Every structure is written in structure tokens, then in C-alpha cells.
Amino acid sequence: MNRDAALAGAAVGVVLVALLASVALPGVLADPTEDGPVRPGPVRISEVNIGSDDAQVRGGTVTLSVDTRIEHHGNPTENVTLLVRAVDSESGLVETSRTVDVGTLRDDAETAVTTNVTVERQGGYRIETVLYQDDRRVDESGKTVSGLEALTPAYARSDVRFSETNALPPLSFSVARADAGNNRTTLELAASLTNGGDDRSEDLQVQFVLRQAESNIVAARTTAGVGAIRPGRTATTTARVTVPRDYNYYVDAVLLKDGVVVDSARTAANLDPTKRISVNETETEVELRVEDFEGGGNGGGERPTEAGGEPTDASTPGFGPVVAVVALLASALLARRWTQ
């Protein structure tokens, strides 16, 4: 047999075997990367930013915007989800949580995922973000926010405040009229307001309340409207009240915007010539400690003594040292008499 003919026949045989195998076992000669499993590319959390929109600040709650940056490289990664939860920093309890379906990540880039979580407007929280791929945790991160009570609700937001300068006090008063016969004094009250914002102020009122210093009884109350104040300007709002003379009063002024308290100020009106009061009082919060009261309500007979001393029975008086010496001498004399 010719050698070339033998080689040709062998080649034909290999081709026939390959064709028969492809028919009998489909996919044997297919590209393994075409239908076979592909390892997904790595994903991770690269950055987390937390912010709040002023419009989302309410009286009892605030909505935080959590912006999570997810970094992806390599082959497409399917079934990516992100869990965002707010954990109370004091109790450790989960306040709220949300799960976002990110889907499939294909590009070698970062993907921004924004999630809104609503929490109470007080205290602080740890915002935790957990990244999953096919329900398997692959990365996590977290940040802490605190002082949420300092955020001003949208309905109470105003750039107008009582002035705080030595030359222009926030509150002042003058005697407009004194009626000795009726024992009354009319005071003219003045509130100084400054607009520190960029817009004209509107819908503002000042409520004045006068309380007698010793009794805390409200002697007078009145409300005055505030005209529009241009940005950076200071305006004065006045009102008159009549109160009994020869008393001292605390004057409280409350700045209101559509019925919501925006700011407050206080001064003292000393109309009593023999006494004076001041508003420079300091209030200190004292933490209640339960152990300070333990055993204090049993009405026991012992009373405390100075350091190093022994407790003394408060219900029965004891014998003094003089009585003890007299008793000892009497016992000795009596014993001597019996021996004689």
C-alpha cells in the first residue's frame, strides 16, 4: 500500500471518529468558555457617604441618604444585593433596614447605590452596609452618625434670631406710664431681631410673657407681628403690657414662625425698689443614681456619724462616762463594806 494513501486514510478516519463523537456526545468539541461556568469578578465596597436633605428633616424623624460605592472588576457578577441598616448606638437594636437589588455588574468601574433610611431624630446610629453576591456576604462597611436632634425640622427653619450683642440686647423695656392710683405700670417691650440668611423673612411673630418672680404667676401676655426683615438687617418689634406695680417680673419672648417656636430670649424687669432679680441662673442636670436611695426608706434607728465614728442608736439614749465612774466607785465601796 502507498504510504501517502495510508496517511490520507488515517486522517479520514480521525475526522470520521470526531464527527461520530460530536453526534453521540454534543458539546464535546464546543468552546468550553461558551456555555461552561464562568467565575464572577470580585466586588467590594469602596466608600460610604451619609447625608440628609433639609426637606427630609421632620419633627420626630429624619431620612438619611446612604450613598454606597461598589467596585467591580473582571467577569460579570450576577445577583448582587446590598443591605443597609441603622443600629441604635446606645441600645444596639436595629432601628430600620433596607435591601437593594443591585443586579449584574459588568464593567470595571464603581457603581453608586443610594439608599434612604428613616430614623428617629435623636441620639446616634451606626449605619452598616453589607454586600452580598448570590446570598453570600462578600464585604461590609459602616459609619456612625450622632447629634441628630441638632437638625432643624423644615417647618421650623428660619434665619431670623434674637440679636446677641452688648450694644443691642435681644430684649429691653421702658416704663411708658405709671398709674399710682390704680397700682399699675405700663411697660413698653422691645425685641431686637436679626436676619442672618439670604432671603426676606416672613410669617414671624413675637409672643411676650411676663411672670411675677416670686409666685411665677403670668401677669401679662401679648403677641406682636414682625414685619419682613431683609437679609443681614436688624429690626425691632415692640408691644405694651400693663402689670401691677412694685413687683419684679421675668420677661420671656418667643419667636414664632407659623406657630412653631424658632428662638427665645429672657430678661428681668425689676419694678420692686427693695428687691432685684437676675436671669443669669445656671441649671444643672443631675443623674439619678438608684444606689443613692437604697435603704433610705426603712426608718431605721441608726443615724450617721462623722468619719471613723460608730453609729449611735437614735431610739435609746446611752449612759455617759460620768455615770459609769460613779457606778464603779459605788460598787467598790459596797464590796468593801461586805468584806468588813
Segment 201-252, tens digit of pLDDT: 888 999 999 999 888 999 999 999 998 899 999 999 999 999 999 899 999 9
Burial class (CB in 10 A: 0-12, 13-18, 19+), 185: buried
Quick check: 198 and 149 in contact, CB under 8 A?
A: no
Which is it for strands 234-244 and 302-303: parallel, antiparallel or unpaired? unpaired
Segment 129-157, tens digit of pLDDT: 999 999 999 999 999 999 888 887 877 77
Instruction: Determine how many CB atoms are found less than 10 A away from the CB of residue 241.
Output: 21
Which residues are paired to 103 by β-bridges?
80
pLDDT for res 170 = 93
Best CATH choice for the domain 158-270 from the list 3.30.479.10, 2.60.40.10, 3.20.20.70, 3.40.630.10: 2.60.40.10
Phi, psi (rounded to 5 degrees) for 59: -65, -45
pLDDT for res 39 = 87
Rg (CA), the chain: 43
Number of H helices, E strands in the chain: 3, 17
3-state secondary structure of 332: helix
Phi, psi (rounded to 5 degrees) for 324: -65, -40
pLDDT for res 199 = 86
- Residue 73 reports pLDDT greater than 80: yes
pLDDT for res 298 = 37
Q: Do the domains 158-270 and 43-150 match in fold?
A: yes
CA distance 261 to 257: 7
- Residue 324 reports pLDDT greater than 70: no
CATH superfamily of 43-150: Immunoglobulins (2.60.40.10)
What distances in angstroms separate CA 22 from CA 10, 19, 25, 331, one per listed residue?
A: 18, 5, 5, 130
pLDDT for res 158 = 83
More confident residue, 280 or 170: 170
**Mean pLDDT of the residues in the chain:** 78
Q: How many residues does the chain have?
A: 340
CA distance 129 to 45: 9
Among candidates 170, 176, 218, which has minimal Cα distance to 190? Answer: 170
Q: Tell me the three cell numbers of residue 317.
A: 439614749
- The Cα diameter of the chain in Å comes to 164
Quick check: 70 and 41 in contact, CB under 8 A?
A: no
Boundaries of every domain in the chain: 43-150, 158-270
Segment 27-56, tens digit of pLDDT: 544 454 455 567 899 999 999 999 988 778
Segment 244-288, tens digit of pLDDT: 998 999 999 999 988 888 899 999 999 887 877 776 543 444 332
Quick check: 71 and 133 in contact, CB under 8 A?
A: no
CA distance 14 to 123: 78
Segment 98-120, tens digit of pLDDT: 999 999 998 898 999 999 999 99
- Mean of pLDDT values over 50-69: 89
pLDDT band at 185 (very low <50, low <70, confident <90, very high): very high
pTM: 0.53
- Residue 310 reports pLDDT greater than 70: no
pLDDT for res 296 = 32
